[in-house]
Protein backbone atom coordinates (compact mmCIF):
# COMPACT_ATOMS: atom_id res chain seq x y z
CA UNK A 1 0.00 0.00 0.00
CA UNK A 2 2.92 2.28 0.82
CA UNK A 3 5.20 3.36 -1.98
CA UNK A 4 8.88 2.86 -1.28
CA UNK A 5 10.56 6.22 -1.16
CA UNK A 6 14.06 5.02 -1.85
CA UNK A 7 14.12 2.06 -4.22
CA UNK A 8 17.86 2.42 -4.17
CA UNK A 9 17.98 1.03 -0.69
CA UNK A 10 16.45 -2.37 -0.88
CA UNK A 11 16.68 -2.83 2.85
CA UNK A 12 13.39 -1.12 3.43
CA UNK A 13 11.62 -3.43 1.00
CA UNK A 14 13.34 -6.41 2.51
CA UNK A 15 12.46 -5.51 6.06
CA UNK A 16 8.89 -4.78 5.16
CA UNK A 17 8.61 -8.15 3.46
CA UNK A 18 10.17 -9.99 6.39
CA UNK A 19 7.97 -8.23 8.92
CA UNK A 20 4.77 -8.78 6.95
CA UNK A 21 5.60 -12.41 6.34
CA UNK A 22 6.13 -13.21 9.98
CA UNK A 23 3.31 -10.96 11.14
CA UNK A 24 0.97 -13.00 8.97
CA UNK A 25 2.09 -16.18 10.68
CA UNK A 26 1.77 -14.79 14.19
CA UNK A 27 -1.57 -13.14 13.56
CA UNK A 28 -2.86 -16.38 12.05
CA UNK A 29 -1.74 -18.34 15.07
CA UNK A 30 -2.98 -16.06 17.83
CA UNK A 31 -5.50 -13.65 16.33
CA UNK A 32 -5.19 -9.91 16.60
CA UNK A 33 -5.26 -9.51 20.35
CA UNK A 34 -3.36 -12.70 20.98
CA UNK A 35 -0.45 -11.78 18.75
CA UNK A 36 2.23 -9.64 20.37
CA UNK A 37 4.61 -7.23 18.73
CA UNK A 38 7.41 -8.91 20.63
CA UNK A 39 6.52 -12.29 19.15
CA UNK A 40 6.44 -10.86 15.64
CA UNK A 41 9.73 -9.07 16.25
CA UNK A 42 11.36 -12.25 17.51
CA UNK A 43 10.06 -14.22 14.52
CA UNK A 44 11.35 -11.58 12.14
CA UNK A 45 14.67 -11.37 13.97
CA UNK A 46 14.35 -7.67 14.68
CA UNK A 47 14.11 -5.62 17.85
CA UNK A 48 10.58 -4.65 18.71
CA UNK A 49 11.27 -0.95 18.42
CA UNK A 50 12.23 -1.52 14.81
CA UNK A 51 8.77 -2.81 14.02
CA UNK A 52 7.33 0.44 15.30
CA UNK A 53 9.61 2.32 12.97
CA UNK A 54 7.97 0.69 9.94
CA UNK A 55 4.50 0.33 11.38
CA UNK A 56 3.47 2.91 13.96
CA UNK A 57 0.95 0.65 15.68
CA UNK A 58 0.01 -3.01 15.87
CA UNK A 59 -3.26 -2.17 14.18
CA UNK A 60 -1.49 -0.59 11.22
CA UNK A 61 0.59 -3.73 10.75
CA UNK A 62 -2.48 -5.93 11.01
CA UNK A 63 -4.36 -3.81 8.52
CA UNK A 64 -1.53 -4.13 6.03
CA UNK A 65 -1.49 -7.91 6.44
CA UNK A 66 -5.24 -8.08 5.88
CA UNK A 67 -5.08 -5.85 2.83
CA UNK A 68 -2.51 -8.08 1.19
CA UNK A 69 -4.65 -11.13 1.72
CA UNK A 70 -7.67 -9.37 0.32
CA UNK A 71 -5.72 -8.49 -2.81
CA UNK A 72 -4.82 -12.12 -3.38
CA UNK A 73 -8.42 -13.13 -2.97
CA UNK A 74 -9.56 -10.57 -5.48
CA UNK A 75 -7.09 -11.87 -8.02
CA UNK A 76 -8.51 -15.35 -7.64
CA UNK A 77 -11.87 -13.82 -8.30
CA UNK A 78 -10.70 -12.69 -11.72
CA UNK A 79 -10.28 -16.23 -12.95
CA UNK A 80 -14.01 -16.63 -12.39
CA UNK A 81 -15.27 -14.50 -15.23
CA UNK A 82 -12.60 -14.92 -17.89
CA UNK A 83 -14.14 -18.23 -18.88
CA UNK A 84 -16.74 -19.11 -21.45
CA UNK A 85 -18.63 -21.99 -19.94
CA UNK A 86 -19.93 -22.55 -16.40
CA UNK A 87 -17.83 -25.71 -16.17
CA UNK A 88 -14.67 -23.86 -16.95
CA UNK A 89 -15.49 -20.80 -14.85
CA UNK A 90 -16.33 -22.77 -11.75
CA UNK A 91 -13.64 -25.41 -11.97
CA UNK A 92 -10.97 -22.78 -12.60
CA UNK A 93 -12.23 -20.66 -9.73
CA UNK A 94 -12.30 -23.64 -7.35
CA UNK A 95 -8.85 -24.75 -8.44
CA UNK A 96 -7.44 -21.28 -7.99
CA UNK A 97 -8.94 -20.99 -4.54
CA UNK A 98 -7.53 -24.38 -3.57
CA UNK A 99 -4.10 -23.24 -4.73
CA UNK A 100 -4.36 -20.13 -2.59
CA UNK A 101 -5.37 -22.23 0.39
CA UNK A 102 -2.23 -24.26 -0.09
CA UNK A 103 0.10 -21.35 -0.82
CA UNK A 104 -1.25 -18.87 1.73
CA UNK A 105 -2.85 -20.79 4.57
CA UNK A 106 -1.86 -18.14 7.11
CA UNK A 107 -3.48 -15.40 5.12
CA UNK A 108 -6.70 -17.34 4.96
CA UNK A 109 -6.50 -17.97 8.69
CA UNK A 110 -6.06 -14.29 9.46
CA UNK A 111 -9.10 -13.53 7.36
CA UNK A 112 -11.08 -16.27 9.07
CA UNK A 113 -10.06 -15.03 12.49
CA UNK A 114 -11.06 -11.52 11.54
CA UNK A 115 -14.48 -12.56 10.27
CA UNK A 116 -15.12 -14.83 13.25
CA UNK A 117 -14.45 -11.89 15.50
CA UNK A 118 -17.02 -9.81 13.66
CA UNK A 119 -14.70 -8.19 11.11
CA UNK A 120 -13.93 -5.08 13.20
CA UNK A 121 -11.19 -4.03 10.78
CA UNK A 122 -12.42 -5.13 7.37
CA UNK A 123 -16.10 -4.37 7.74
CA UNK A 124 -15.92 -1.79 4.96
CA UNK A 125 -14.37 -4.32 2.57
CA UNK A 126 -17.24 -6.70 3.20
CA UNK A 127 -19.85 -4.04 2.62
CA UNK A 128 -18.32 -2.58 -0.51
CA UNK A 129 -15.89 -4.65 -2.55
CA UNK A 130 -16.97 -8.13 -1.51
CA UNK A 131 -20.63 -7.23 -1.67
CA UNK A 132 -20.31 -5.87 -5.20
CA UNK A 133 -18.22 -8.79 -6.35
CA UNK A 134 -20.79 -11.19 -4.96
CA UNK A 135 -23.67 -9.42 -6.68
CA UNK A 136 -22.04 -9.57 -10.09
CA UNK A 137 -21.28 -13.31 -9.75
CA UNK A 138 -24.82 -13.97 -8.61
CA UNK A 139 -26.08 -12.36 -11.79
CA UNK A 140 -23.78 -14.53 -13.88
CA UNK A 141 -24.95 -17.68 -12.14
CA UNK A 142 -28.57 -16.66 -12.52
CA UNK A 143 -27.98 -16.18 -16.21
CA UNK A 144 -26.57 -19.69 -16.46
CA UNK A 145 -29.72 -20.95 -14.77
CA UNK A 146 -31.97 -18.96 -17.09
CA UNK A 147 -30.08 -20.34 -20.06
CA UNK A 148 -30.50 -23.81 -18.56
CA UNK A 149 -26.77 -24.38 -18.55
CA UNK A 150 -26.89 -25.44 -14.91
CA UNK A 151 -29.64 -26.71 -12.58
CA UNK A 152 -31.63 -24.31 -10.48
CA UNK A 153 -29.67 -23.42 -7.38
CA UNK A 154 -29.45 -20.44 -5.06
CA UNK A 155 -26.34 -18.66 -6.40
CA UNK A 156 -25.52 -17.16 -3.04
CA UNK A 157 -25.33 -20.50 -1.28
CA UNK A 158 -23.39 -22.00 -4.15
CA UNK A 159 -20.77 -19.30 -3.68
CA UNK A 160 -20.75 -19.84 0.08
CA UNK A 161 -20.18 -23.54 -0.50
CA UNK A 162 -17.20 -22.84 -2.72
CA UNK A 163 -15.71 -20.40 -0.26
CA UNK A 164 -16.34 -22.68 2.69
CA UNK A 165 -14.91 -25.83 1.16
CA UNK A 166 -11.84 -24.30 -0.40
CA UNK A 167 -10.92 -22.18 2.60
CA UNK A 168 -11.51 -25.13 4.90
CA UNK A 169 -8.29 -26.67 3.59
CA UNK A 170 -6.38 -23.63 4.82
CA UNK A 171 -8.24 -22.67 7.97
CA UNK A 172 -8.65 -26.22 9.27
CA UNK A 173 -5.26 -27.29 7.96
CA UNK A 174 -4.25 -28.57 11.36
CA UNK A 175 -7.32 -30.76 11.71
CA UNK A 176 -6.86 -32.13 8.21
CA UNK A 177 -3.20 -32.87 8.84
CA UNK A 178 -4.05 -34.62 12.09
CA UNK A 179 -6.66 -36.76 10.34
CA UNK A 180 -4.02 -37.51 7.70
CA UNK A 181 -1.83 -39.27 10.27
CA UNK A 182 -0.04 -36.02 11.03
CA UNK A 183 1.30 -35.58 7.51
CA UNK A 184 0.65 -32.52 5.36
CA UNK A 185 -1.26 -33.33 2.19
CA UNK A 186 1.04 -34.43 -0.63
CA UNK A 187 0.83 -33.10 -4.17
CA UNK A 188 -1.41 -35.94 -5.23
CA UNK A 189 -3.56 -35.57 -2.15
CA UNK A 190 -4.09 -31.90 -2.95
CA UNK A 191 -4.96 -32.89 -6.51
CA UNK A 192 -7.41 -35.42 -5.18
CA UNK A 193 -8.94 -32.86 -2.84
CA UNK A 194 -9.36 -30.37 -5.67
CA UNK A 195 -10.91 -32.97 -7.94
CA UNK A 196 -13.25 -34.16 -5.19
CA UNK A 197 -14.48 -30.70 -4.35
CA UNK A 198 -14.83 -29.71 -7.99
CA UNK A 199 -16.57 -32.96 -8.83
CA UNK A 200 -19.20 -32.80 -6.11
CA UNK A 201 -20.00 -29.15 -6.70
CA UNK A 202 -20.18 -29.36 -10.50
CA UNK A 203 -22.25 -32.53 -10.47
CA UNK A 204 -24.31 -30.94 -7.70
CA UNK A 205 -25.58 -28.32 -10.14
CA UNK A 206 -25.99 -30.63 -13.09
CA UNK A 207 -22.62 -30.24 -14.80
CA UNK A 208 -20.17 -32.92 -15.83
CA UNK A 209 -16.70 -32.11 -14.51
Partner DNA sequence: CCTCATCCTGACCATTTGGTCAAAGGAATT
Partner DNA sequence: AATTCCTTTGACCAAATGGTCAGGATGAGG
Q: Interface with a second copy by CB under 8 A: which residues?
A: 28-34, 109, 112-113, 115-119, 123, 126-127, 130-131, 134, 151, 153-154, 156-158, 160-161, 163-165, 167-169, 171-172, 174-176, 178-179, 192-193, 196-197, 199-206
**Nearest-10 crossing angle of helices 58-81, 86-103:** 150
Closest by CA to 24, choosing from 75, 69, 76, 72, is 69
Q: How far is the CB of 79 from a second copy (least distance, A)?
A: 21
Indicate the residue among 17 and 164 with the shorter CB distance to a second copy.
164
Q: How far is the CB of 83 from a second copy (least distance, A)?
A: 20
17 binds DNA (CB under 7 A): no
Binding mask 59-98 for DNA (x = CB under 7 A): x---------------------------------------
Angle 187-173-159 (CA atoms, 0-180°, nearest 5)?
A: 90
Query: Taking a C-beta distance cutoff of 8 angstroms, is the pair 108, 99 a contact?
Result: no
The secondary structure of 23-60, three-state, reads HHHHHHHHHHHHCCHHHHHHHHCCCHHHHHHHCCCHHH
Residues at the site binding DNA, with contacts judged by CB under 7 A: 5-6, 8-9, 11-12, 15, 35-39, 46-50, 52-54, 56-59
Amino acid sequence: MEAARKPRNATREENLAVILHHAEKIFAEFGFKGATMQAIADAAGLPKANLHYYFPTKLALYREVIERIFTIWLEAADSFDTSATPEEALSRYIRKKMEISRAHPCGSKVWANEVIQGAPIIQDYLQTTLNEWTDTRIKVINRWIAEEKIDTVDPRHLLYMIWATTQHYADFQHQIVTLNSGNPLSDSQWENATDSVTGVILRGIGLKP
